Structure 1
Amino acid sequence: MRKLSEKKLLIATHNKGKLEEMRALFAPHGIEVTSAGELGLAEPPETEDSFIGNARIKARAAVEATGLPVLADDSGITVDGLDGAPGVYTADWAETPNGRDFLQAMTRTWDELEAKGVPHPRTAQFRATLVMLWPDGHEEIFEGVAPGHLVWPPRGVQGHGYDPIFVPDGHDRTYAEMTPEQKNDISHRADAFRKLQVLFA
């Protein structure tokens, strides 16, 4: 296990919500975080069919462009009643000609559950895979999961993505009804990040 000694880290994301979560998680460790989006890097095509594969693509592209150590994340939601969909295609379900529309994605998800007559609770899991990649090619991988269930209609205005319809196990509020701090304590990304903290030990 290689330790992270650098104090500047590039996050391979163009998602501002994800970046803010990462920035908050790294701040206590004195690590300055910037993102591929902030540096104007291109987004590489995500052509793999796994979270690890797509995270690797993002990490490698960012390392090659900057020479910095990079943390890449690929995440999404897997819905049991849809055989794990949308999974790695979570963001694709939100794509429109004018950018991403997650209300469209959430509506499609719920409509497909309704069409299949999936019983309640409609269980789902947010999943996050973190790939830490150094310029010499060394990598460390950490996976996190947050189990829960889906509700309709969407509730709350915090967060991003599927947060308004996801209620994590042990809670009665959606991610979008929680403060960022409350969500960060229990999220799939926080679960993966807790495992990543061995890099600081």
Structure 2
Amino acid sequence: MRLCFASNNKHKLEEIRNVVGGKIDIISLADIKCYEELPETRTTLEGNSLQKAEYVYDHFHVACFADDTGLEVDALNGAPGVYSARYAGEHRNSDDNIALLLQNLRNDTNRRAQFRTVITLVGLEAEPVFFEGIIRGEIIHDKKGISGFGYDPVFVPEGHSRTFAEMTLEEKNQLSHRAIAVKKLAEYLRNRTV
């Protein structure tokens, strides 16, 4: 089975291919010659992932899935949430986003947070199909590690002592929010083709 992953993020593409393995051929936007920025104008993770997947399906006529991920911090009432990538501005700089997050949490003792990913699959069924992955954890006070991307250097998943950025890709893929959602997608696709 061949599916397009509606993202220009090479890190996400690598993560997803790693989780799915060789069972499903995951092609990129570049493979279908889609070079434009996909729309993300909705106010929820579900809305954005659906909007991106439908855009690719409608314009390129290929079955695809898209994701949207947010870091939801308890003390910030779920922020930055759907605005995680542009928390510190439209330039989407991870270092700036982390700096603003740590500044906003400087006086909080509650550092609990979760990463939440929503994946939307379109083009295989009459209606879109949604998959969700959540990993709880906490925000530490300073960045640690050099792997991963986004907020990985300040997020320690529950039951662990290292940030996502201190883990290898393989370690992160055993427990990450995106890996949980992708495993649900892969299981759905396997069951569908049996």
Aligned twin of 2:190:
200
Q: How does 1:4-15 map to 2 (within 5 A)?
A: 7-15=1-9
In structure 2, how many angstroms separate the alpha carbons of the residues matched to 1:198 and 1:135? 11
Q: Which runs of 5 or more residues in structure 1 are unaligned? A: 1-6
Let me know the Cα RMSD of the aligned residues.
1.6
Q: Which of 149, 171, 179 is matched with 2:168 structurally?
A: 179
Aligned twin of 1:27:
21
Determine helix, strand or coil for the equivalent of 1:131.
strand
1:167 is the counterpart of 2:156: yes
Residue identity matched to 2:93:
D
Aligned twin of 1:107:
99
Against the structure 1 CA distance between its residues 93 and 37, is the aligned structure 2 distance closer, same or farther, given a 3 Å change threshold?
farther
Give per-residue Cα distances to partners, 1:99-126, cap 9 Å, x unaligned. 4311100110110111xx2114x01100
Aligned twin of 2:49:
55
Measured after TM superposition, the shift of residue 66 of structure 1 is: 1.5
- Normalization by structure 2: what TM-score? 0.91
Against the structure 1 CA distance between its residues 65 and 41, is the aligned structure 2 distance closer, same or farther, given a 3 Å change threshold?
farther
Q: How does 1:24-173 map to 2 (within 5 A)?
A: 24-29=18-23, 31-37=24-30, 39-95=33-89, 99-114=91-106, 117-120=107-110, 122-134=111-123, 137-173=126-162
Measured after TM superposition, the shift of residue 95 of structure 1 is: 4.1
Residue identity matched to 2:135:
A
Determine helix, strand or coil for the equivalent of 1:200.
helix
In structure 1, how many angstroms separate the alpha carbons of the residues matched to 2:30 and 2:160? 33
Q: Which runs of 5 or more residues in structure 2 are unaligned? A: none
Determine helix, strand or coil for the equivalent of 1:100.
coil
Against the structure 1 CA distance between its residues 100 and 40, is the aligned structure 2 distance closer, same or farther, given a 3 Å change threshold?
same
Residue identity matched to 1:169:
E
